[in-house]
Amino acid sequence: MKNNFLLLTLLLAAFEAITYLSTDMYLPALPIIQTEFHLTHAQVQLTLTWWFIGASMLQLILGPLADKWGRRPILFFGTIIFSVASFICGYTDSYFLFTVCRFLQGCSVCTVLVSAYATIHELFDTKHAVKAVALMSAITLLAPALGPLLGSLVMKFANWRVNFSGLAISCLFVTIGLVFVMPETLKKPRSIKIGKTIKQYIELAYVLGFLLPTLMVCLEFAGFISWITASPLLLMTHFKLTQIEFSFCQLIVFASFIVGTQFVKLLIDKKTLIQIVQVGVTTACIGALICLISFFISAYYEILILGMIFYAIGSGLMSSALNRLAMEVEGYPMGTKTALYSFLISVFGVLGSLLINYFYLTWIVAVCGFASLFLYYYYVSNKNL
């Protein structure tokens, strides 16, 4: 079981990481893309926003479909869509077609968020599932951690478009591996009744045991997306960092998230999921406070980076525990739970990328951190979850 657990987790994480690399590897190229396509600042940021819109569009549809047809068909549909869209992104000269394919790349993320995580929670017990989700999060976060650096290195030797072709080929190799390794965990297919499905989503959204952990993850994710969206132009344009310097800043922040996920392995045998969340949300709030301080001492970007490090460690600590707490709610199909969970996270991701056009990054991160702390105390104080 150990070998299957590790190999399956690695392959699922690899596909998820590849989908996120489709955004992170080309972050250093945003100024070049803006010039090459003759875009405004707002237009080039829309290539990020449309990716997140795509990543929030299909979960509520794919959840019931995964409960009817199985986890494997839905996931493999996503891998093919991603590969085709990535090849087109690497060759098109049309801003419209490029944006459409960015949207399709985002849509493919929905398949892994629904099918992969449903498979993990159905296949493994609580401790193994939390470890699997933590490992997937750690590997997935290599995308924003190493993506900008990899993208910068590629641009040293080739055009930024090579990034997309490489991702398409990598995705095809991962698909081949999953064909042989990924089991079908759906034991009893469910018929799709639109009225019943909508009712289940609405009922589940009112279950506090599901909603509160999910919203905590959503808020932390929104803070990260605000950072991803704002940091390229903030650090390279305002603070005059080079592409490599910017990439190392991203590496430090997202490596901190990975450190947080690894702490979970040390705590899972000693503490309850709630206790792990408490440590994580406290650490994230310390980071949010430092980010807020950096707003008033704006001459030093290092203070902002320090705040994001604490924010990232805390988020990494609590993300997998919150995921499992939400999935342990009984009475609803796993596909429905993973679909609504990932849908809400993606919606907050879109909000995070849009809000950066109206509010300062530091304030968004601060609000997300402190709101998560409030939800945590409401969660633990409510006896009728």
117-160: pLDDT as tens digits: 889 988 888 888 888 888 888 887 777 677 777 888 888 888 88
Query: pLDDT value at position 210?
Result: 93
Higher pLDDT, 237 or 351: 351
> Contact 351/205 with Cβ under 8 angstroms?
no
Query: pLDDT value at position 83?
Result: 95
Enumerate residues 6+ apart whose C-beta is below 8 A from 5: 124, 128, 132
Query: pLDDT value at position 378?
Result: 92
- According to DSSP, residue 333 is labeled -
Tell me the average pLDDT across 90-105: 91
Backbone angles phi, psi at 299, to 5 degrees: -80, -15
pLDDT at residue 109 greater than cutoff 70: yes
DSSP three-state, residue 90:
coil
Pick the CATH number of 2-183+192-381 from 2.40.420.20, 3.40.50.10680, 1.20.1250.20, 1.20.1090.10: 1.20.1250.20
Q: Which residues of 321-356 are buried (b: 16+ CB within 10 A; e: fewer)?
A: bbbbbbbebeebbbbbbbbbbbbbbbbbbbbbbbbb
State the Cα–Cα distance between residues 332 and 344, nearest whole angstrom: 17
Residue 245 CA, distance from chain mean position: 23
> What is the pTM for the complete model shown?
0.79
Query: pLDDT value at position 190?
Result: 73
Q: Which two tokens stand for residue 72?
A: 């494997």
> Contact 59/109 with Cβ under 8 angstroms?
no
Q: Which two tokens stand for residue 176?
A: 């081949």
| Beta carbons within 10 angstroms of residue 284's beta carbon | 31
Enumerate residues 6+ apart whose C-beta is below 8 A from 204: 210, 329, 332, 336, 337, 340
| Residues of the chain above pLDDT 90, percent | 30
Angle at Cα 325 formed by Cα 217 and Cα 374, nearest 5°? Answer: 50
**For 21-67, how does the pLDDT look when each residue is reduced to its tens digit (9 = 90+)?**
888 787 777 888 888 888 887 788 888 888 878 877 888 889 888 88
